[in-house]
Amino acid sequence: MAVEARATEETGIAKGDLLSLYYYLLLTRGVEARIRKLYLQGKVVGGVYGGYGQEAIGVGSAYALRDGDTVSPIHRDMGVQLVRGMSGRRVMAHWMARESGPTRGRDEDMHIGDLSLGIFSPISMLGSSIPVAAGAALTFKQRGQDNVAMAYIGDGATNTGDFHEGLNFAATLRLPLVLIVENNQYAYSTPLAKQFAITHIVDRADAYGIPGLRIDGNDVVAVYKTAKNAVADARRGHGPTLIECVTMRMRGHSEHDAASYVPKEMLEEWARRDPIQRLEDWMTTHDMASQEDLAAARARVDREIDEAVQWADSQPFPNADEVATGVYATEV
Ligand SMILES: Cc1ncc(C[n+]2csc(CCOP(=O)(O)OP(=O)(O)O)c2C)c(N)n1
Q: Enumerate domains of the chain plus CATH numbers.
A: 2-314 (3.40.50.970)
CA 48 to ligand 1 centroid distance, Å: 14
Q: Measured in Å, how far apart are the chain's first and last C-alpha atoms?
A: 67
Burial of 9 (0-12, 13-18, 19+ CB in 10 A): exposed
Ligand 1 near 76 CB (within 6 A)? yes
DSSP state of 326: T
Which atom belonging to ligand 1 lies closest to the Cα atom of 157? 15
Ligand 1 near 189 CB (within 6 A)? no
- Is the per-residue pLDDT at 212 higher than 70? yes
From 55, 129, 188, 244, the mutation candidate for ligand 1 (largest count of ligand atoms within 8 A of CB) is: 188
Report the chain's mean pLDDT, rounded to a whole number. 95
Average pLDDT over residues 146-163: 98
Ligand 1 near 126 CB (within 6 A)? yes
Helix (H) or strand (E) holding 27: helix 15-40
Question: Under a CB-based contact definition with an 8 Å cutoff, are residues 252 and 258 in contact?
Answer: yes
Ligand 1 near 32 CB (within 6 A)? no
CA 307 to ligand 1 centroid distance, Å: 33
- Is the per-residue pLDDT at 10 higher than 80? no
Which atom belonging to ligand 1 lies closest to the Cα atom of 160? 1
Per-residue model confidence (pLDDT) at position 330: 55
Per-residue model confidence (pLDDT) at position 250: 98
Confidence of residue 6 (pLDDT cuts 50, 70, 90): low
Average pLDDT over residues 23-44: 96
Ligand 1 near 89 CB (within 6 A)? no
Most confident range (mean pLDDT) of 39-48, 144-153, 279-288 is 144-153
Question: Under a CB-based contact definition with an 8 Å cutoff, are residues 305 and 30 in contact?
Answer: yes
- Is the per-residue pLDDT at 332 higher than 60? no
59-74 pLDDT tens trace: 999 999 999 999 999 9
Distance from C-alpha of 103 to C-alpha of 316, rounded to nearest angstrom: 13
Q: Whose CA is nearest to atom 19 of ligand 1?
A: 187
Per-residue model confidence (pLDDT) at position 324: 81
Ligand 1 near 11 CB (within 6 A)? no
- Is the per-residue pLDDT at 2 higher than 80? no
Distance from C-alpha of 47 to C-alpha of 34, rounded to nearest angstrom: 14
Ligand 1 near 155 CB (within 6 A)? yes
Amino acid at 117: L
Helix (H) or strand (E) holding 246: strand 241-246
